[in-house]
Amino acid sequence: MNITATPALPLGDDALILSHRLGEWAGHAPVLEEEVALANIALDLLGQARILLSLAGDEDELAYLREERQFRNLQLVEQPNGDFAHTIARQLYFSTYQELLFNHLAATDSELAPLAGKAVKEVAYHRDHAHQWTLRLGDGTDESRTRMQRAVDALWRYTGELFEPVEGLETVPWAALHDSWAARITSTLEQATLTVPEGPRHGAWTAGAGRQGLHTEPFGRMLAEMQHLHRSHPGATW
Amino acid sequence: MTTIAPEETAREAVFDATVAADERIEPRDWMPDAYRSTLVRQIAQHAHSEIIGMQPEANWITRAPSLRRKAILMAKVQDEAGHGLYLYSAAETLGTSRDELLDKLHSGRQKYSSIFNYPTLTWADVGAIGWLVDGAAITNQVPLCRCSYGPYARAMVRVCKEESFHQRQGYELLLTLSRGTDAQHAMAQDAVNRWWWPSLMMFGPPDDESAHSAQSMAWKIKRHSNDELRQRFVDICVPQAEALGLTLPDPDLTWNDERGHWEFGAIDWAEFREVLKGNGPCNEQRISRRRQAHEEGAWVREAAAAHAAKHGKASR
């Protein structure tokens, strides 16, 4: 398989994998409006993934024929959906990151600038959707507050990786991006009457190595399901 | 008291004249109670079919064999959720809330189309549903764009546009499989074999056994009989199957030159009645999944309501 070295690959993998996870919600959402909203976000991300992966090679070969250790996505995006609060926390962390990164990339002369410029409008909606739900769940009922706090705490350990430098994106000011991210997340969580998590975000080897191809246990199962049919018919056209 | 009867009669005359003139009844117009309840029943069943119908297709989203197909399938399932939303809204114009209708679905007091009680066993089933099930749905629904009740008719215009898009996508999926490897061709043929007869049952029982047809035709909620629509569908599908390079599983299919229609074999109405009674392959699974999603989402809906109560007015 020909894979071009480009930062489009790790960013494309983020979009591909999170889109897949969101697709798992179809038919399970808590309310009909969220069936539409979650599918909409999944479709936006899949659209981004297809453009980004095509810059690195053949989109289907990359999606369906790579092994787990060849994927470069963040561990955050591969985390299972959990309850609706976990899905929202994952989206809040990721979309806030993606909006800041794409805003930056859109203003550069990188090959990713056109995609970033277009996608940032979609991503701003994804972040707002996650932000609004974080407020509703955090400042809703006792149960929803407990669940939302548990979710932001559980996923916190995967957020350090968001600001690790990415090969080919050396000009991105990662530290500044991190500070903006932390300020926005803090603001949302405080408005939602939640506590900003304080646990570790770096150090443990299991968290923060997705960009190097080290993933978490649920990821292998996810890929097995995603790739099974394509791999069962080698060379077939769909 | 004596003045009520003439008023009723006058209102009913206006209603009858509106329907007779092929004009639309709108939410604030007077309508007979039975007209209202017939519409609520039909629109609710249609809305429930959209949301239950998401399940057999969502079954393949995570296994779609190419990213292009995955995007098409996700968009399709999303459209179905959207159709559910318009249709529940159309029912709300008749004074019945979405919550009330969902309760009736979850408790088995209202039905959804029996077709969704069949399983999607292979990827080709996604194509067969698009081609046959959406094809049958369109045949049923295009006349509803002229239904006498305005909000339903207008919802159906939009639904039909999207459904015909889905139907073409399903056909194209099957065509790709049919022209693909031997294994893909066999997968496509197997799916058509399993979905053909249930699709013919989607038009409902034969005309002489259809419980609601006559009154619905008089009210112009319904425009054509079940058997007429079924015949129209068969006539459309036979040449399409040939173009696909697939066969329809009916040895009795023959062209009747005199009638100008395809004759088809006997439908197994015993199977139809069994599935309708709840004994189809997936009845239990579909409704349990729906109830589970609803119950597991209860805390989310409660949180949204509690948040709106605290902040709703202030934030708007």
What do you get for the CA distance between the two ends of chain A, in Å? 19
Q: In 3D, which of B86, B105, B293, B61 has the Cα closest to residue A229?
A: B61
Please give the average per-residue pLDDT across B223-239, as a whole number.
Answer: 96
In this structure, is residue A237 part of a structural domain? no
With a pLDDT cut of 90, the percent of chain A lying above it is 93
Cβ neighbours of residue B277 under 8 Å, at least 6 residues apart?
Answer: none
From the list B54, B180, B301, the residue facing A26 with the nearest CB is B54
Quick one: pLDDT at residue A199? 79
The conformational region for residue A162 under phi > 0 = left, psi -120 to 50 = alpha, else beta, is: alpha
Tell me how close the Cα of B310 comes to any Cα of chain A, in angstroms: 8
Burial (CB < 10 A; 0-12, 13-18, 19+), residue B21, is: exposed
Pairwise CA distance, residues B291 & A30, whole Å = 10
Quick one: pLDDT at residue A200? 77
Q: How many helices (H) and strands (E) does chain B have?
A: 15, 2
Please give the average per-residue pLDDT across B19-37, as a whole number.
Answer: 95
Quick one: pLDDT at residue A99? 98
Any bridge partners for residue B254, and if so which? B263
A46–B contact, CB cutoff 8 A = yes
In this structure, is residue A238 part of a structural domain? no
A50 and B307 within 8 Å at the Cβ level: the answer is no
Contact B53, B116 (CB under 8 A): yes
CATH class of B6-313: mainly alpha
Residue of B nearest to A18 (CA): B62
B74 and A39 within 8 Å at the Cβ level: the answer is yes
Chain B CB contacts of A47 below 8 Å: 71
| pLDDT tens readout for residues A153-208 | 999 999 999 998 899 999 999 999 999 999 999 999 999 999 999 977 765 554 56
Chain A, window 127-146: residues with a beta carbon less than 8 angstroms from a chain B beta carbon: 135-137, 139-141, 143-144
What is the pLDDT confidence band of residue B313, given thresholds at 50, 70 and 90?
Answer: low
Residue B207 clears pLDDT 70, i.e. is over it: yes
Pairwise CA distance, residues B97 & B93, whole Å = 9
The domain locations on chain B are 6-313
Q: What angle do CA B139, B142, B143 make, to 5 degrees?
A: 100
Tokens of B259: 């009638």
Range of the domain at A201: 8-232
Please give the average per-residue pLDDT across A201-216, as a whole number.
Answer: 76
- How far is C-alpha B51 from the chain's CA centre? 10
| pLDDT tens readout for residues B284-294 | 999 999 999 99
Residue by residue, what is the 3-state secondary structure of B204-219?
A: CCCHHHCCCHHHHHHC
Quick one: pLDDT at residue B84? 96
Pairwise CA distance, residues A23 & A155, whole Å = 20
What is the pLDDT confidence band of residue A152, given thresholds at 50, 70 and 90?
Answer: very high
Q: What is the CATH number of the domain that holds A118?
A: 1.20.1260.10
Quick one: pLDDT at residue A80? 98
Residue B316 clears pLDDT 50, i.e. is over it: no
From the list B69, B74, B180, the residue facing A23 with the nearest CB is B74
Quick one: pLDDT at residue A168? 93
Quick one: pLDDT at residue B9? 87
* DSSP characters over A214-230: ---HHHHHHHHHHHHHH
The conformational region for residue B175 under phi > 0 = left, psi -120 to 50 = alpha, else beta, is: alpha
Tell me how close the Cα of B152 comes to any Cα of chain A, in angstroms: 19
Tokens of A114: 């056109």
From the list A140, A143, A238, the residue facing B307 with the nearest CB is A140
A224–B contact, CB cutoff 8 A = no
Pairwise CA distance, residues A192 & A82, whole Å = 20
Tell me how close the Cα of A16 comes to any Cα of chain B, in angstroms: 9
Number of structural domains, chain A?
Answer: 1
Quick one: pLDDT at residue A208? 65
Residue of B nearest to A63 (CA): B67
Quick one: pLDDT at residue A58? 98
Rounded (10°) CA dihedral B228, B233, B234, B237: 160
Any bridge partners for residue B262, and if so which? B255
Residue B97 clears pLDDT 70, i.e. is over it: yes
Q: Which of A119-128, A137-146, B218-227 has the lowest average pLDDT?
A: B218-227
Cβ neighbours of residue B125 under 8 Å, at least 6 residues apart?
Answer: B56, B60, B119, B191, B194, B195
Burial (CB < 10 A; 0-12, 13-18, 19+), residue B211, is: exposed
Residue B315 clears pLDDT 50, i.e. is over it: no
Pairwise CA distance, residues B131 & B121, whole Å = 16
Any bridge partners for residue B256, and if so which? B261
Please give the average per-residue pLDDT across A28-51, as a whole number.
Answer: 98
* Bridging pattern class, strands B254-256 and B261-263: antiparallel
Residue of A89 and B8 predicted with greater confidence: A89
- How far is C-alpha A93 from the chain's CA centre? 8
